[in-house]
Amino acid sequence: MALVGAGTATLQAALAGRPPVTLAALHPLSAAVARRLVRVPHVALPNLVLGRRAFPEAILEGCTPDAVAAGAAAMLDAPDREALAAVRAACLRPGAAARVADVVARLGDRRVEQIRGIRA
């Protein structure tokens, strides 16, 4: 199990076989801006790769000692080995870079559409 700040390290931890617990505590002003700009169902890259929340995320106001401890305990007690294997399979098979670029492009396109809708 690894306690990891949100970012690429979450994916690195999962690829190394360590179930990540993602942490992201922000200043309240930064959190308000992030809520308006970021529209993804998960923050942790392994969860985005899987399309579901397989690994705990303690994000923004939810980044409390209790939430971090609960996530860590869950990953120590019963790590989701199938999810770890699925992340590895998705990221390490040929063409992974193209698939990641496609996901990023789709997320970017969706965000551009949202911004255009706000400005219209």
Tens of pLDDT, residue by residue over 44-97, are: 999 999 999 999 999 888 889 999 999 999 999 999 999 999 999 988 878 877
Instruction: For residue 52, give its domain range.
Output: 2-119
| pTM, to two decimals | 0.74
3-state secondary structure of 28: helix
Cα gap 16→78, rounded to integer Å: 17
The DSSP letter of residue 26 is -
Domain count along the chain: 1
Between residues 99 and 4, the one the model is more confident about: 4
pLDDT in tens, 16-54: 999 999 999 888 888 888 888 877 888 899 999 999 999
